[in-house]
Each structure stands twice: as C-alpha cells, then as structure tokens.
C-alpha cells in the first residue's frame, strides 16, 4: 500500500452469548462478532494519527511516539493513543471514524475501534496477535485489566457462527447458530457504573481463589470452591467454575438445536452472575426476569461486564421487537 492510497478498515462489535468473567482466568467464552461495526477510512502518511468522527465534538490527534495513552484528550483519543502505542506504525494516518454501534452500551464499541484502527495503521499479525495488541491498547487506555474476549471476538468473527474461545490457548471453535434462533441485545437503560474498579476487584478475587485452588479452568466440580475459607472468594470461584461448564453445555446444545438446554444455561448464568459474582443490578435483574417470562424467549442474561449495560436474549423468530437484532458476522478486515 503506497502513501496517499485510501485505506478502509472495519471492526465489528460483539455480543457474548455465555461465558462471563471467565476470560481473565483463561476460561471459556462464547461470543460472536455482530453486524454493527466501526469503519475507519483515510490515508496513511505524516507523523500523527488524526481522526475525526461525526459522533465526537473534537478530533483525536495522537503523535506516533505517544507516551501515556491514559491521559490523551478528548476521552476517545485514549483508545486511539492506546493502539498507536501498541502498533507503533512507522507513519501516521488522517481519516474519519463512523460507527453503527451504540457507544458505551456494552457492545464493545472500544474494541471495534481498536481492531479497525490497528488494521488501518498497517498491523499485519495474525488474528490472535491483533486481539493481543488491541487488548493491551484497551488496558493502557482505560486502566482496566480486561480480558481478551472483546478484541478477539471482533478480530475473529465468522458469518453465521458464534465463537467458542478457549482463553487459555486462544483456540477458536466456530459454533453454528441455528437459523430459527434470533439474537437480541437490549439495553437496560442503566449506564455501566463502577465497571472499571469493580471489574479489577473481581479479577483480583479470582486470582486469589486460584492461588489456593489452582487454575479454575481445570476444575470441573463447582463444589471444589467450598474448600476456600473466605465466603466471598468461594462464591466468586463457584461462578467461574460453573460458568465454564455452562459454556461447554451451550456450545454443544446450540448447534444440536437443544434450545431447552441452551435456555436453562443462560438463565443459570444470570443467576450466578447476580448471586455469586455480584455484577448484576436490580434494573438488569428486572429486565432479564421480564424477558425470561416472555413466550418465545429461549433464555436471557446480562452480557458483558455487568453493573448496567445490556442483556442478550435468544428467541424464536419475531418474538421481540425491542433492542438490536444482531447476526453473527465476519471479523475485522481491510476493505
């Protein structure tokens, strides 16, 4: 690609079907890239990355040798700076960012921006390398020790498939989503609160449980957590162990069309996130309960980090009109 040639990169958002707060301990997740995405279009050259967006009042202007992405302004420039600091492109970029994703709603608008920008800047590694550098960019930009799920789902998406990701070795198994199942994402109306500090606290609790029990991803019986003296750590570990088992169950039941088993696991996941991992809110609980009581809903649960944000519902076709109807879509790419 020569200087001055137009470059267009697309990064999709993601929704996680099941496997919440399991990625940081190398567990299992089942997300998919969705058909709502961020597009970056522009030209390479110069010694700055300059991006404008119709959704932002001020441009992001980032020097190629940016030192501390976390202090870049305006706020969205932190994510741009994070990617520049990780990719360290040899030349700058001037372009525009547009998105069909709701920003900050829990559909990984930041991961979509990061993976699209890394490609626009000329990053040439594998899909897992793309996910790794953009995960580090997100961590640097936000100060939150997030796992790899969001960036890997956005980077590796496959049309018509959810992605069973083993977050320990980063192997990806495509899982067919039956044609007669719709995926809806519904915002709770509650902005995500304390997501950063509480997320870091939960990750630390899981690490503390692992210091006593060993890697939770290798444990099959949730009762193993009973060996922990600390009552809170016991519940945190029980969530992670049982959630990994639920991901396995859904990855088997979904392509087989066993929707009763899928629904049961989704409902159990929400209960575990509410009671054992304690990342739900009364608003999310009420929405999940209403959806799960609706005829035609296979199962609904909070999706993403929690503390507000979105619920995912799997339904029979045409059941719900609210929220976003999303379809499993290809991952990040240059057009």
Residues lying near ligand GLA in the complex (CB under 6 A):
20-21, 23-24, 146-147, 149-150, 304-305
- Supply the minimum distance, in Å, between the C-beta of residue 79 and ligand GLA: 13
DSSP per-residue letters across 309-327: SEEEEEESTTS--SSEEE-
Burial of 139 (0-12, 13-18, 19+ CB in 10 A): middle
Give me the residue label for tokens 């969205």: 76
Closer Cβ to ligand GLA, 133 or 305, answer by number: 305
User: Which one is catalytic: 150, 179, 221, 230?
Assistant: 150
Strands 93-99, 171-176: pairing kind: unpaired
Looking at the Cβ atoms of 50 and 208, the one nearer to ligand GLA is 208
Task: Give me the residues paired with residue 164 across strands.
Answer: 173
Confirm whether 3 is a catalytic residue: no
Residue with smaller CB distance to ligand GLA, 28 or 40 = 28
Q: Whole-number minimum distance, CB 22 to ligand GLA, in Å?
A: 7
* E-only strand ranges, 45-170: 48-52, 60-63, 93-99, 161-166
Nearest approach, Cβ of residue 243 and ligand GLA (Å): 9
50 forms bridges with which residues in the sheet?
61, 94
**Residue 334's beta-bridge partner residues?**
9
Between 25 and 315, CB nearer to ligand GLA: 25
- C-beta of residue 43 within 8 angstroms of C-beta of residue 4: yes
Which residue's C-beta sits nearest to ligand GLA? 147
Contact of 268 with 278, CB cutoff 8 Å = no
Query: Minimum CB separation from ligand GLA for residue 147, in Å?
Result: 3
Residues with active-site annotation: 150
């Amino acid at each position: 690609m020569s200087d001055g040639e137009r470059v267009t990169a697309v990064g999709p958002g993601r929704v996680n079907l099941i496997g919440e707060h399991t990625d940081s301990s190398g567990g299992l997740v089942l997300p998919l890239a969705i058909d709502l995405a961020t597009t970056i279009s522009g030209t390479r050259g110069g010694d700055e990355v300059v991006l404008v967006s119709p959704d932002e009042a001020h441009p992001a202007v980032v020097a190629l040798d940016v030192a501390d992405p976390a202090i870049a302004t305006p706020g969205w420039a932190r994510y741009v700076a994070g990617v520049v600091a990780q990719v360290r492109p040899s030349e700058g970029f001037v372009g525009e960012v547009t998105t069909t994703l709701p920003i900050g709603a829990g559909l990984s608008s930041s991961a979509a921006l990061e993976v699209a920008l890394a490609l626009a800047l000329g990053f040439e590694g594998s899909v897992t390398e793309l996910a790794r550098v953009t995960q580090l960019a997100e961590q640097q930009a936000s100060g939150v020790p997030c796992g790899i799920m969001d960036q890997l789902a956005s980077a590796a998406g496959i049309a018509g498939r959810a992605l069973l990701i083993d977050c320990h070795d980063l192997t990806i198994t495509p899982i067919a989503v039956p044609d007669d199942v719709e995926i809806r994402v519904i915002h709770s109306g509650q902005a995500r609160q304390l997501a950063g500090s509480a997320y870091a606290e939960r990750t630390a609790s899981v690490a503390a449980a692992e210091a006593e029990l060993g890697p939770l991803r290798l444990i099959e019986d949730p009762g193993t957590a009973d060996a922990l003296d600390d009552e809170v750590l016991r519940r945190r570990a029980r969530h992670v162990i049982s959630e990994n088992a639920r991901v396995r169950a859904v990855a088997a039941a979904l392509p087989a069309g066993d929707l009763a088993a899928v629904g049961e696991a989704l409902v159990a996941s929400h209960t575990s996130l509410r009671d054992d991992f304690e990342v739900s809110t009364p608003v999310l609980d009420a929405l999940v309960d209403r959806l799960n009581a609706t005829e035609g809903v296979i199962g609904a649960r909070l999706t993403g980090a929690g503390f507000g944000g979105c619920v995912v519902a799997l339904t029979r076709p045409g059941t719900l009109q609210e929220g976003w109807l999303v379809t499993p879509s290809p991952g990040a790419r240059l057009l």
